[in-house]
Amino acid sequence: MNTMSNNNLPSSKYRKLVVAVSIIIPIAVAALFGIKVEGVDLSFLPPFYASLNGITAVLLILALVFIKSGNMKLHQRTIQVCLGISLLFLVCYVAYHMTSDTTLYGDMNHDGIVDANVGSVKYLYYFILASHILLSIAVIPLVLFTYLFALEGNYVKHKKYTRLAFPIWLYVAVTGVVVYWMISPYYV
């Protein structure tokens, strides 16, 4: 990662930007869910953005391997790719949900009624989904601050934040795949 002195990087402006982005993204996503665009079929997106989650998970593990082996440049580039993939995921996710009806877990007939055969597995699904959503909101500032500290050359804070950001980001990426795998039989 680039070693920049605090004189070369207006840190307070970037910190404020991280806070603003961390607030704006969840609010914008929630607001965009209220908008429905008719006549656009983006039903191909869920397996695509689930794959993006899977790729992110693999790349996060690779980034860890790279930094543990001392390859800071590959670590930095891999994290940058993860950030780009996460942004692409967000765009695809919002686009899909703006153009598609919500899929109800266990609704085999697409009539708004959960099939009785689903049983208690739905509680597992909703637990994973809820934790995935909540942590996907929490991970935004964690990842962005972690990245900012690395850019500033503040590796003490970078490592401290990474201890929290990495497992949460990895959990969000992996559970994104799990959520898709569990809900996919119920897509229209």
Summarised one tens digit per residue, pLDDT across range 69-125 is 999 999 999 999 999 999 999 999 999 999 998 888 888 888 888 887 888 899 999
- pLDDT tens-place string over residues 76-87: 999 999 999 999
* Spatial contact of 183 and 103, defined as CB atoms under 8 Å apart: yes
Rounded CA gap, 185 and 108, in Å? 8
Whether residue 32 is predicted with pLDDT greater than 90 in this model: the reply is no
The tokens of 9 are what?
């990087």
pTM comes to 0.88
Q: Please give the angle made by the CA atoms of 186, 187 and 188, to the nearest 5 degrees.
A: 115
pLDDT band at 10; cut points 50, 70, 90: low
The model's pLDDT over 121-173, given as tens digits with 9 standing for 90+, comes to 999 999 999 999 999 999 999 999 999 999 999 999 999 999 999 999 999 99
Spatial contact of 107 and 185, defined as CB atoms under 8 Å apart: no
Conformation bin of residue 4: beta by default, left when phi > 0, alpha when psi is -120 to 50: beta
Q: Going from the N-terminus, what domains does the chain have, and what CATH number goes with each?
A: 42-186 (1.20.120)
Matching residue, tokens 């008719």:
38
Q: Residue 9's pLDDT is what?
A: 52
DSSP assignment string, 49-92? HHHHHHHHHHHHHHHHHHHHTT-HHHHHHHHHHHHHHHHHHHHH
Q: How many CB atoms lie within 10 A of CB 118?
A: 15
Q: What pLDDT is attached to residue 109? A: 81
DSSP annotation of 102 reads P
Please state, in angstroms and rounded to a whole number, the distance separating the CA atoms of residues 71 and 67: 5
